């Protein structure tokens, strides 16, 4: 939804941004060295296999406040691949991310008495099978190495040549740095819109503090906070990846200089987690095993979604659904923004615009064909004496406080209070409100927005007497409360100013005052960036309690671990070519963050996109993991049927998406069990191919389905990078690219998006449709790819099917089937077979494989001697065997022959998906 900060006049900000860029640049080139660090004065083993030490301040400094004189160091190899380094005040408990929000091991309690080690400490090591922690006593520093290849992953030591100093630990300022090799490629540290693409760019600001600032703002702290980065290195032709997480929810800045990285954090503790890798996929597996595996998603969530802020009544919504059906464009989910509400109040229904009897009849109609309905819920609860949700909240004392009363803010309903989701009573109250609303309207999912938290006012506010707020005729995002700035505490005006909102605004600007407090006295200053995360957990709990179905939640604000509960969209973007390009990088970053179900507003949230842009955007957005068109009320209507040209592109691109739904759903299962991103940068599958390390205009779905869209205006071709190997066009499988690792120019007229499948893969597809419920009942086809002309090769794939209404996504329930798919070509024979686990569910659904296509085969004479499940297929069978020649785009050097191969298709099959099958045939040369 459009926010107050979205409406800031960009031109008026430019001068401020330019001025700040100079001060920001000085932070990189002329950093301030603070203090002399700490010395290690004691060290001992702990009963749980860790080490516990104490660090004593070497020299006091007054910059940014007094130092904490004594620190506790705790180090533990929690697994062979995960190392934790925890540093906190040795004498006083400090704020940390709550252990009930993100479950993990507790460090040892603080010791009351601390003695010095009798013997001098110089250098020592503490190792697991994969990671080595070593330390230097004076000044204290530590190094993390990977044992298998001796690479240094993190090194906090400094000398006079470094642009940073020793570790600093004050109450409201923590600083620590690490050296980096110059050729390391870094990814992560979001959420932000990165103008240079997915790869982190040296000497650009990376500020982490959840903020309602639209995604059009570059290099700015946006809706989420993810203080984790992946480091990918190519050493001697071998690729090595690892990740580093600083688990801290306070505002922070991370300064990346190319050969070093410095954290500057305004509170909390140092709680580092190191994940050894060594492949990018393994890193994400290790990371999500710690923060929580991505949530299981219902099958329908992979369909296409349509939303708009401004569907003012039910008739408009009905018309949208009817027009999608008329245009034969796939649509699974219709959404409403706050239009369905009674005066924008959560968990209510407008009796005039969305009369309940008519709405229930509409939902019954769409539910019968498998469509779904999702609505928005904002965290701000309208202050209204006749509003039951608010009154029940007051009675249960669920709101964040300031000066012993609920903190007053303004969002869409006007004056609001914010629920405190750190309070267990709030979670119970919120779950009850979800249940009450679901009884009123049987929605299929919830969209939680504005949860950074967004506030149209700043400071301490009161409701003005004698006036109405919001003021009639004035935009709802204009503050109409009586407010005073709060600067009286060190929480509202901390000594170190992070570059909040890209403008170094006060921390409480357009959000909850940072001196407000939560349950048990927790300060908003500390918990701010956890607000959306805590609301997501509460919403998940509430939805889980309804009808035993798998929850679907879309959240704007995210933190470490949000993917365990929800999907994410990238917020308020613009209908511009630049925003189209930026969306790809952000989507890929969230896969690394453990939030694989992610997408951007297709065609842009505002203002109006051009017809050409919307054509190209649906050709990208059809392959986002989460695919939704959403627009602002002030923009012209941009549903995909509004332009016939866009409708044609949508039928083409979404038509392919719906054929790929079984593959996409299998990828969500892989994400759920291993964290594997659905949409991936190319380096996930080709980590040694350095040319793709910064590639941000193409992406993979899974390990080998390459999307190469047009993201520039006026183009009818696209220059696409193809890693070495054979790539087959999914729209025309007789067309292929044989690459030695180079860019290839592909034709891409307006309605064409290039999608290629890599070699050695078996891709399950179905026949598609306009609603996923029907599409998933259609017969399967299998696409098998071998390297072009290979005489000996293998291919693999898999397929997961289940009852997607069930809360759990797993085998062993009796309501799921998993199929491993295999193929080989050897000595002129092709074999394709399956191995099924728990086939009953697929058999009960009556699912069959109708067609198998094998690509890249060597042979010019065709296929013969077909056997299916040990039986020779005769000419009187319904099964047909056909052969087609394939054409390749490739670079052929002098003396080389052009690649020749054929595609063999087996049609007319009726192989039960839930039962093992095997087929084979012989490839013969032309006589």
Q: Which residues are catalytic?
A: 449, 452, 572
DSSP helix/strand/coil, 803: coil
DSSP helix/strand/coil, 203: coil
Q: How many CB atoms lie within 10 A of CB 428?
A: 15
The residue whose two tokens read 């062993």 is 812
| Torsion on CA atoms 419, 421, 424, 428, rounded to nearest 10 | 60
Could you tell me which residues are beta bridge partners of residue 523?
517
For 590, counting Cβ atoms within 10 Å of its Cβ (0-12 exposed, 13-18 middle, 19+ buried), the class is: buried
Widest distance between CA atoms in the chain: 96
Distance CA 373, CA 362 (A): 10
Give the pair of three-digit tokens for residue 490. Answer: 């060190």
Q: How many CB atoms lie within 10 A of CB 401?
A: 18
Could you tell me which residues are beta bridge partners of residue 336?
375
Distance CA 35, CA 13 (A): 35
HSE-CB at 15 with a 13 A cutoff on CA atoms is: 3
Could you tell me which residues are beta bridge partners of residue 739?
725
* CA 751 vs CA 358, 618, 743, 769: distances in Å: 38, 10, 22, 19
Distance CA 41, CA 61 (A): 20
Do residues 546 and 435 touch, judged by C-beta distance below 8 A?
A: yes
Give the pair of three-digit tokens for residue 23. Answer: 């001060």
Distance CA 774, CA 279 (A): 38
Evaluate the CA torsion angle 809, 812, 813, 817 in order and state its sign: positive
Angle between helices 661-674 and 644-659 (to 10 degrees): 60
How would you classify the pairing of strands 372-377 and 445-448? parallel
DSSP helix/strand/coil, 357: helix
Give the pair of three-digit tokens for residue 460. Answer: 């301490």
Rounded to 5 degrees, what angle do the CA atoms 734, 905, 921 make?
125
- Among 2, 194, 516, residue whose Cα is nearest residue 507: 516
* CA 673 vs CA 293, 536, 704, 908: distances in Å: 7, 21, 19, 35
For 12, counting Cβ atoms within 10 Å of its Cβ (0-12 exposed, 13-18 middle, 19+ buried), the class is: exposed
DSSP helix/strand/coil, 21: helix
Distance CA 781, CA 791 (A): 24
DSSP helix/strand/coil, 196: coil
692 DSSP assignment: G
HSE-CB at 127 with a 13 A cutoff on CA atoms is: 11
- Among 189, 276, 174, 281, residue whose Cα is nearest residue 228: 189
Distance CA 402, CA 404 (A): 5
Could you tell me which residues are beta bridge partners of residue 82?
79, 275
Chain centroid to Cα 417, Å, comes to 29
- Among 293, 333, 300, 915, residue whose Cα is nearest residue 661: 300
- Among 199, 334, 333, 338, residue whose Cα is nearest residue 258: 199
The alpha-helical segments, DSSP class H, found in 783-839 are: none
Distance CA 871, CA 717 (A): 47
């Amino acid at each position: 939804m459009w926010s107050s900060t979205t409406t800031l006049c960009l031109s008026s900000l430019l001068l401020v941004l330019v001025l700040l860029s100079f001060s920001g640049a000085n932070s990189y080139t002329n950093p301030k060295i603070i203090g002399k660090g700490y010395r290690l004065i004691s060290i001992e083993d702990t009963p749980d296999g860790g080490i516990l030490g104490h660090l004593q301040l070497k020299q006091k400094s007054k910059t940014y406040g007094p130092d904490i004189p004594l620190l506790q160091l705790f180090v533990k190899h929690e697994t062979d691949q995960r190392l934790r380094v925890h540093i906190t005040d040795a004498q006083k408990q400090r704020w940390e991310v709550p252990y009930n929000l993100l479950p993990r091991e507790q460090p040892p309690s603080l010791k009351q008495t601390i003695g010095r080690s009798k013997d001098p400490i110089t250098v020592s090591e503490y190792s697991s099978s994969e990671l080595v922690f070593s330390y230097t006593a004076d000044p204290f520093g530590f190094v993390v190495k990977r044992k298998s290849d001796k690479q240094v992953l993190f090194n906090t030591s400094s000398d006079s040549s470094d642009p940073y100093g020793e570790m600093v630990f004050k109450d409201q300022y923590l600083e620590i740095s690490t050296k980096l090799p110059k050729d390391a490629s870094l990814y992560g540290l979001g959420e932000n819109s990165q103008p240079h693409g997915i790869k982190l760019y040296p000497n650009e600001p990376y500020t982490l503090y959840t903020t309602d600032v639209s995604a059009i703002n570059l290099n700015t702290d946006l809706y989420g906070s993810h203080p984790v980065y992946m480091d990918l290195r190519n050493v001697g032709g071998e690729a090595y990846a690892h990740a580093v997480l600083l688990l801290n929810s306070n505002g922070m800045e991370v300064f990346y200089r190319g050969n070093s990285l410095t954290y500057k954090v305004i509170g909390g503790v140092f709680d580092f987690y190191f994940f050894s890798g060594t492949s990018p996929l393994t890193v994400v597996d290790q990371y999500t095993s710690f923060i929580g595996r991505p949530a299981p998603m219902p099958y329908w969530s992979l369909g296409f979604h349509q939303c708009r802020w401004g569907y003012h009544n039910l008739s408009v919504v009905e018309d949208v659904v009817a027009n999608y059906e008329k245009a034969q464009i796939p649509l699974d989910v219709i959404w409403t923004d706050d239009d369905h509400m009674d005066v924008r109040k959560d968990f209510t229904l407008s009796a005039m615009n969305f009369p309940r009897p008519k709405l229930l009849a509409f939902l019954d109609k769409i539910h019968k064909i498998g469509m779904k309905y999702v609505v928005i819920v904002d965290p701000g609860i309208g202050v209204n004496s006749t509003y039951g949700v608010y009154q029940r909240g007051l009675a249960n004392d669920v709101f964040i406080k300031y000066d012993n009363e609920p903190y007053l803010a303004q969002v869409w309903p006007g004056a609001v209070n914010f629920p405190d989701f750190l309070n267990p009573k709030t979670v119970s109250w919120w779950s009850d409100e979800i249940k009450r609303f679901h009884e009123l309207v049987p929605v299929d999912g919830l969209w939680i927005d504005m949860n950074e938290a967004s506030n149209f006012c700043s400071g301490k506010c009161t409701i003005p007497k004698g006036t109405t707020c919001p003021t009639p005729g004035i935009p709802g995002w204009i503050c109409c409360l009586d407010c005073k700035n709060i600067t009286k505490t060190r929480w509202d005006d901390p000594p170190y100013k992070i570059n909040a909102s890209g403008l170094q605004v006060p921390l409480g600007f357009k959000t909850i005052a940072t001196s407000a407090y939560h349950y048990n006295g927790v300060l908003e200053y500390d918990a701010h960036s956890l607000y959306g995360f805590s609301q997501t957990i509460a919403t998940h709990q509430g939805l889980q309690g309804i009808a035993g179905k798998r929850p679907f939640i879309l959240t704007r604000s995210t933190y470490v671990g949000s993917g365990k509960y929800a999907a994410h969209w990238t917020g308020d973007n613009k209908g511009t070519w630049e925003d189209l390009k930026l969306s790809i990088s952000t989507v890929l970053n969230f896969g690394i963050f453990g939030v694989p179900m992610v997408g951007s507003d297709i065609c842009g949230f505002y203002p109006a996109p051009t017809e050409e842009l919307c054509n190209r955007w649906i050709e990208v957005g059809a392959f986002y993991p989460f695919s939704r068109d959403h627009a602002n009320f002030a923009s012209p209507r941009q549903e995909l049927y509004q332009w016939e040209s866009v409708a044609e592109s949508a039928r083409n691109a979404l038509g392919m998406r719906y054929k790929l739904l079984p593959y996409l759903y299998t990828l969500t299962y892989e994400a759920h069990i291993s964290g594997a991103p659905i949409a991936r940068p190319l380096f996930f599958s080709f980590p040694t191919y350095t040319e793709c390390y910064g590639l941000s205009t193409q992406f993979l779905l899974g390990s080998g389905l390459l999307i190469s869209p047009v993201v520039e205006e006026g183009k009818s071709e696209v220059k696409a990078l193809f890693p070495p190997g054979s790539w087959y066009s999914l729209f025309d499988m007789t067309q292929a690219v044989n690459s030695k690792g180079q860019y290839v120019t592909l034709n891409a007229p307006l309605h064409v998006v290039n999608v290629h499948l890599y070699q050695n893969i078996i891709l399950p597809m179905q026949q598609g449709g306009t609603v996923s419920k029907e599409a998933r009942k259609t017969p399967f086809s299998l696409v098998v790819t071998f390297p072009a002309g290979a005489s000996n090769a293998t291919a693999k794939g898999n397929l997961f099917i289940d009852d997607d209404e069930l809360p759990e996504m797993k085998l062993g329930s009796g309501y799921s089937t998993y199929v491993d798919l295999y193929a080989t070509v050897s000595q002129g024979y092709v074999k394709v077979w399956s191995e099924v686990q728990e086939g009953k569910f697929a058999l009960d659904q009556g699912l069959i494989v109708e067609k198998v296509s094998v690509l890249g085969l060597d042979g010019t004479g065709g296929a013969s001697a077909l056997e299916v499940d040990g039986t020779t297929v005769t000419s009187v069978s319904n099964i047909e065997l056909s052969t087609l020649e394939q054409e390749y785009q490739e670079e052929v050097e002098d003396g080389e022959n052009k690649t020749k191969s054929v595609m063999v298709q087996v049609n007319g099959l009726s192989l039960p998906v839930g039962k093992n099958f095997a087929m084979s045939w012989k490839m013969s040369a032309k006589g």
